[in-house]
């Protein structure tokens, strides 16, 4: 993509959807779709860094996904373990890419060994500043807002602030992506027209782009098309 005439979004968020349908279309187990989807995540993360996108957030596993079959949840957790182990082994590659990895979402209920690996990966990439990659795991947008509101309520209870002091900035300070810009562009592959509880607070003025491509088939060229469409839109933020 020629970036000269393209307005790059500062923050892109992607709902990685369609893994199960991709596998079903090929007569494979749903877990095979998740395996391929994990490789696509790696490819798109690196591509975002290569073209100069500063922040990118991927929706990997929602709080609602625990309702899926035990076999599928176990397979997803095993894929996450493998990815985290590989991240530890690819220290030089990650340093060259300049990617800062963060995991957003609740760590309660997550396997303890995975939480430990998350902490290690975040620590190893903490000084990287080229591209910030957020991976939403055990994440729910409503739960994120509740978390922030509860923290504010505790401050009110302790007498640190008054109710009339509460504003949007205070809530923003308590969400997982605090200190990062809200997403400019939210992409949903697979043709579904919904946010599915993803970045509800942050998406107030995000541009939405729906793509029929299933996530395991997603390519850098598909991302280019979304960015080109985004660059043509007139973002007024409620103004004229």
- The per-residue pLDDT for range 162-173, each reduced to its tens digit, is 999 999 999 999
- The tens digit of pLDDT for each residue in 83-123 reads 888 877 666 666 677 889 999 999 999 999 999 999 999 99
Cα separation, 43 vs 41, whole angstroms:
5
We report the CATH number of the domain holding residue 106 as 3.40.1180.10
Structure confidence at residue 180 as a pLDDT band (50, 70, 90): very high
> Does residue 163 lie in a domain region?
no
If phi > 0 it is left, if psi is from -120 to 50 it is alpha, else beta; for residue 203 that is alpha
Query: Rounded mean pLDDT of 36-40?
Result: 94
Provide the number of structural domains found in the chain: 1
> Does residue 160 lie in a domain region?
no
In the chain, the percentage of residues whose pLDDT exceeds 70 is: 93
Structure tokens at 202: 């942050």
Q: Cβ(201)–Cβ(195) under 8 Å?
A: no
At residue 85, the pLDDT reads: 85
> Does residue 159 lie in a domain region?
no
At residue 91, the pLDDT reads: 61
Question: Could you list the active site residues?
Answer: 17, 65
At residue 83, the pLDDT reads: 86
- What domain range includes position 191? 8-142+183-231
- The tens digit of pLDDT for each residue in 45-66 reads 999 999 999 999 999 999 999 9
> Does residue 1 lie in a domain region?
no
In angstroms, the Cα distances linking 58 to 74, 151, 215 are 20, 25, 12
Query: Rounded mean pLDDT of 119-137?
Result: 92
Query: Rounded mean pLDDT of 143-171?
Result: 97
> Does residue 97 lie in a domain region?
yes
Q: What is the pTM of this model?
A: 0.93
Question: What does the mean pLDDT of the chain come to?
Answer: 92
> Does residue 223 lie in a domain region?
yes
At residue 86, the pLDDT reads: 82
> Does residue 147 lie in a domain region?
no
Closest CA relative to residue 42, chosen from 2, 94, 92: 94
């Amino acid at each position: 993509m020629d970036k000269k005439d393209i307005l790059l979004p500062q923050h892109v968020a992607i709902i990685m959807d369609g893994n199960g349908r991709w596998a079903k279309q090929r007569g494979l187990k749903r877990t095979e779709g998740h395996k391929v989807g994990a490789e696509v995540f790696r490819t798109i993360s690196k591509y975002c860094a290569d073209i100069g996108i500063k922040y990118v957030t991927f929706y990997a596993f929602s709080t609602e996904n625990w309702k899926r079959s035990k076999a599928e949840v176990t397979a997803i957790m095993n894929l996450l373990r493998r990815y985290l182990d590989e991240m530890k082994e690819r220290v030089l590659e990650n340093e060259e890419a300049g990617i800062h990895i963060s995991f957003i979402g609740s760590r309660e209920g997550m396997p303890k060994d995975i939480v430990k690996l998350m902490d290690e990966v975040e620590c190893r990439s903490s000084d990287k500043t080229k591209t910030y990659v957020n991976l939403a795991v055990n994440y729910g947008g409503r739960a994120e807002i509740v978390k922030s509101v509860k923290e504010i309520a505790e401050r009110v209870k302790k007498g640190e602030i008054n109710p009339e002091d509460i504003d949007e900035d205070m809530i923003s300070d308590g969400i997982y992506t605090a200190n990062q810009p809200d997403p400019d562009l939210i992409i949903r592959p697979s043709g579904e027209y919904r946010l599915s509880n993803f970045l509800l607070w942050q998406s107030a003025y995000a541009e939405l782009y729906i793509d029929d491509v299933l996530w395991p088939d997603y390519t850098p060229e598909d991302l280019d098309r979304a960015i080109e469409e985004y660059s043509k839109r007139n973002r007024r933020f409620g103004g004229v």
